[in-house]
């Protein structure tokens, strides 16, 4: 904000500044009670003193101070100044002899208890870190000191009291003013603490809700990736095997039966994976990383993926280097899914005759490379520019990229150096 704004009327915040309608109503009730107590106390003190006029002095005096207490809800500082001037006027005119400070106690309290929070253009109270106008306490202290000094000089030079008598007359009232200001400060601090505590609970609730939404979104994306990988690979392999079975049914029944058995095995594995996914969705208390896929969904299952590609009619090879024993399960699953999706794209889109898988297990990272010798349509199924995902109608490359990114790795997908299409990924292995 470039400038500080306060509510209409120039008030710096009364005892009930801020809060909702309930707080406003409570503050209004407090002011009404304070005004009533002020009026009764002034009239009673004047009657007990028995020196000044009651009807033309004490009653207007008491009602005027009470009205100023009510006005302090909108103009607390102006009401305090007016209350002090009223007390001085009635004491100077000889129409009151019951005190210099305490008749304006309610006005002092309301000003000192105001928080003076800066408000925005809409009149809403800003947060605790926003700039603030000066609090009401320093203003009340300054006015009180000036009133005590004026009263001391009046009692000394106008009323004719000596210094000891003047100090005795005003010492108790100065102590009373200090007590009122201390009570107002304690009340204001307690109210502000309750406000900040409520605001902190609200912020914590918002943060918990945001974290829950973030976790739900991450889990939704993770499950979407798993569903895509399982369904796309299964349908591709099953479709190829069914086509082989249909073509060989009359001439090569044994080959047709083998293709059907392969399709059944792939389907059974996919069903197990889907059941694991559905189990996570059914159990709201399941931890996000607790999903267990069917056996073989790790580095040991890469060979089965390659065998499935071979059964689909492509030449396929696997080249490994290093020891996979130290690869953690999340990295192993990511490698498996990258190989699975890349082989599925090679079968569906490349139009080539061969695909090679190269795995390098290092102490710091796992390096994956899948290259085919197709015409480049595989790139269209998952090029780095994203056009292939649109052409293929799927999200395979995006899913692979997300898997690698979550694990802090690097991913690339595009035309190979010698034609065809190549997918590369480097996934770090935590030490």
- Token look-up 């129409």 returns 95
**Coil, helix or strand for 361?**
strand
Long-range contacts for 153-160 (Cβ within 8 Å, ≥24 apart)? 154/91, 154/92
Q: Which domains does the chain have, with CATH numbers?
A: 9-118+128-210 (no CATH), 295-431 (3.30.565.10)
Whole-number pLDDT of residue 245: 72
**Torsion (CA) 19, 22, 24, 30 in degrees, nearest 10:** -120
Whole-number pLDDT of residue 116: 45
In this structure, are residues 415 and 377 in contact, taking their beta carbons and an 8 Å threshold?
no
Could you tell me whether strands 315-321 and 421-428 are parallel, antiparallel, or unpaired per DSSP bridges? unpaired
* Residue 376 neighbours by CB distance under 10 Å: 19
pLDDT tens per residue across span 93-149: 777 777 888 888 888 888 888 754 434 334 444 444 334 434 688 888 888 888 888
Q: Which residues of the chain have pLDDT under 50?
A: 1-14, 16-18, 116-134, 286-296, 377-393
Whole-number pLDDT of residue 299: 80
Whole-angstrom CA distances from 390 to 254, 387, 402 are 39, 5, 17
- The whole-angstrom separation of Cα 47 and Cα 146 is 28
In this structure, are residues 431 and 417 in contact, taking their beta carbons and an 8 Å threshold?
no
Long-range contacts for 171-175 (Cβ within 8 Å, ≥24 apart)? 173/99, 173/100, 173/101, 173/102, 173/148, 174/101, 174/148
Q: Which residue from 340, 301, 337 is spatially nearest to 222, judged by alpha carbons? A: 337
Write down the pTM of the prediction.
0.44
Whole-number pLDDT of residue 366: 92
Q: Which residue from 206, 155, 189 is spatially nearest to 15, judged by alpha carbons? A: 189
Given CA atoms 231, 237, 241, 242 in this order, what sign does their dihedral have? positive
């Amino acid at each position: 904000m470039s400038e500080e704004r306060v509510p209409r009327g120039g008030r710096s915040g009364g005892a009930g500044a801020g809060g909702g309608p309930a707080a406003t109503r409570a503050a209004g009730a407090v002011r009404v009670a304070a005004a009533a107590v002020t009026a009764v106390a002034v009239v009673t003190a004047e009657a007990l003193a028995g020196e000044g006029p009651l009807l033309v002095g004490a009653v207007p005096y008491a009602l005027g101070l009470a009205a100023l207490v009510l006005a302090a809800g909108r103009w607390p500082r102006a009401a305090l100044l007016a209350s002090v001037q009223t007390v001085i006027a009635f004491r100077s005119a000889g129409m009151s002899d019951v005190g210099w400070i305490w008749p304006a106690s309610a006005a002092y309290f309301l000003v000192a208890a105001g928080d003076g929070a800066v408000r925005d253009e809409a009149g809403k109270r800003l947060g605790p870190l926003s700039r603030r106008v000066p609090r009401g306490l320093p203003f009340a202290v300054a006015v009180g000191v000036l009133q005590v000094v004026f009263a001391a000089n009046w009692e000394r030079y106008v009323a004719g009291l000596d210094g000891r008598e003047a100090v005795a007359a005003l010492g108790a009232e100065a102590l009373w003013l200090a007590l009122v200001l201390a009570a107002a400060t304690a009340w204001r601090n307690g109210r502000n603490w309750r406000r900040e505590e409520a605001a902190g609970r609200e912020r914590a609730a918002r943060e918990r809700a945001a974290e829950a939404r973030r976790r739900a979104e991450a889990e939704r994306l993770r499950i979407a990736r798993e569903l895509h990988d399982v369904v796309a690979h299964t349908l591709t392999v099953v479709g190829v095997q069914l086509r082989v079975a249909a073509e060989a049914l009359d001439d090569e029944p044994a080959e047709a039966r083998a293709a059907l058995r392969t399709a059944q095995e792939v389907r059974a594995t996919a069903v197990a994976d889907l059941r694991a996914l559905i189990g996570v969705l059914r159990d709201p208390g399941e931890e996000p990383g607790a999903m267990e896929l069917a056996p073989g969904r790790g580095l040991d299952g890469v060979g089965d993926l390659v065998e499935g590609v071979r059964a689909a009619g492509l030449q396929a090879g696997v080249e490994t280097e290093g020891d996979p024993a130290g690869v953690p399960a999340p990295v192993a699953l990511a490698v498996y899914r990258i190989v699975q999706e890349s082989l599925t794209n090679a079968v569906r889109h490349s139009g080539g005759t061969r695909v090679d898988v190269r795995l390098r297990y290092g102490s710091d990272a796992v390096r994956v490379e899948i290259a085919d010798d197709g015409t480049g349509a595989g790139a269209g199924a998952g090029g780095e520019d994203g056009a292939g995902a649109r052409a293929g109608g799927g999200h395979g490359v995006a899913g692979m990229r997300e898997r690698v990114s979550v694990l802090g790795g690097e991913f690339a997908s595009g035309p190979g150096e010698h034609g065809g299409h190549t997918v590369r990924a480097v996934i770090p292995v935590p030490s």
